[in-house]
Chain A
């Protein structure tokens, strides 16, 4: 795979093999800023308003694979919603794809947390992917004239993206018959079908077994590189992601830290963030364990079976 580390060259293979995409995607500078938060805060609820985090500075570039970590309730999902513009971020500045949040949502692929009833949906994988393409449009698509051509094109795009995530073999089957890993691939395809510039996945590894966690992570990294998409992936555990990430965002105590894993997940940095002594241990095979964080007494070990 052609994969160089300097951001300028990352875009080349993506544009070479995805001919016919929106011109706006070409205009984006390779390695340009995808998401920027400056002294930003997120507020949820009105009576009383609750500040989830504040004074947050973040910068995510196109083609970067970033994990969002932190204990429960630290505002990881809220960060994704802030980028989508569905959470109040009026205090501070948030810029998404060069504009205020909520404006460019058509160019953001979003996979919300825990599709609780995805497992019982009476639709096929391809139907869900197709809804990602034109599910927000009003009216009935009638197969006449130019619409027929648009239909064929939509069908081709759905096939292309299910192929990209490796879901072609089972995309025609009802979702209820698919395993957790297969469903997750379909949902990622749905998020990707409109060729987003930003892909946001909220705990996509949750409830997957270890081989599937690794496979989905590898898939997301490959898409991040080949399509030059900025990826924000919310996770409970950084270890399955370690070898794939460019950066991490660590949320705790209403604040955030950003940087490469080895700079952020350290005893000194996390102790400062939590405002309490926290120790980061590294096992011999390179995995990270955080000990003593005050806010997460219920560790998430049970989720990983």
Chain B
């Protein structure tokens, strides 16, 4: 193919972008992945499970390397490794007794060990496979070349399943994320939702990391939702903003990496970080943040000096 060049004619550039089938597939896959990652990531950020999400993402690397070693399609490796690690993390979570923070700190140590072991296994598999180094790079940092229509279809099915499950369980999951004890008292199956969400996260990560690579999947999962949650406190609106930002980042990164010699992962990461930083900046200069009033004083109904505590 001739070297693609960027002009200032937008219509021509788009035409140039979509001239090849592989690029159309890349856009299709990128769009699906961007929407799914933005929605699942929104819950992940809200639930403060970014570390779990990152670990599942890293586990997709030994998964894919192991699949290559075993002569299986790499997609199988992605889904199996991410699903298994999601279940393992779910099992390591103690059912909510005591404050959520202490339950999560014990969890994070276990997750950290799993993560390191996963990376080591991945390198072992790769050296046993004695494959070319090129593969390591695309496993870790992603590629948009060579996505076929079967892969796009698989992505679409996974995305529909994941988004459908989230649509069904969205509100109870939100309540369980914000307020597990109230949710439990109201009969929401908090524990099932915990594990179920990790499984959805595993599916989304496995799908996303085939495009962005094991190390950079995290960027799409965390940056758009985190930026959206900074920008607006309305759940529905910030979910929509998250999806919009994710699409913007993915489309822009795909387009620019097509016209440039640098890898896709670099552009996705750069734009995602840029969006997050801009959101933080916007919050600090927004009028709402500036005219933040001090809390209203409350009239004391009775004047009393400090009471001596009664245990």
Contacts and interface: CB of A to CB of B under 8 A. Distances in A.
A9 interface: no
Given A136-B183, A136-B187, A116 B304 contact: no
B130 interface: no
Contacts, number: 150
B7 to A, nearest CB: 41
Interface stretch (B9-17, B108-116, B163-171): B163-171
Interface string B172-202: 1011001101111111100000000000000
Contact of A182 (B170, B234, B295, B302): B295
B311 interface: yes
Interface string B94-129: 000001110000000000000000000000000000
B167 A190 contact: no
A164 interface: no
Nearest to A285: B304
Interface in A87-118: 105-106, 108, 110-112, 114-117
B298 interface: yes
Contacts of B168: 138-140
Given A122-B46, A296-B311, A300-B309, A139 B235 contact: no
A210 B233 CA distance: 30
Most buried by B among A69, A134, A177: A177
B69 interface: no
Given A136-B188, A138-B171, A182-B295, A214 B309 contact: no
B172 A135 contact: yes
Contacts of A128: 178-179
- Interface size class of chain B, counting residues whose CB lies under 8 Å from the partner chain: 35 or more
Contact of B233 (A123, A136, A140): A123
A40 B175 CA distance: 31
- Interface size class of chain A, counting residues whose CB lies under 8 Å from the partner chain: 35 or more
Interface stretch (A15-23, A28-36, A52-60, A238-246): A238-246
Contacts of B172: 135-138
Interface string A60-83: 000000000111100000000000
A263 B165 CA distance: 55
Interface string B116-149: 0000000000000000000000000000000000
B279 to A, nearest CB: 12
Nearest to A176: B233
Contact of A122 (B188, B233, B307): B233
A178 B308 CA distance: 28
Interface in A287-304: 287-290, 293, 296, 299-301, 303-304
6 contacts: A178-B295, A182-B296, A191-B182, A214-B304, A290-B311, A301-B309
Interface of A: 69-72, 84, 86, 105-106, 108, 110-112, 114-117, 121-124, 127-128, 131-132, 134-141, 169-170, 173-175, 177-179, 181-182, 190-191, 210-212, 214-215, 218, 236-240, 243, 265, 283, 285, 287-290, 293, 296, 299-301, 303-304
Given A139-B171, A210-B307, A289-B310, 13 more contacts: A70-B311, A122-B229, A124-B233, A131-B175, A135-B183, A135-B188, A136-B187, A170-B296, A191-B182, A210-B304, A236-B311, A237-B307, A237-B310
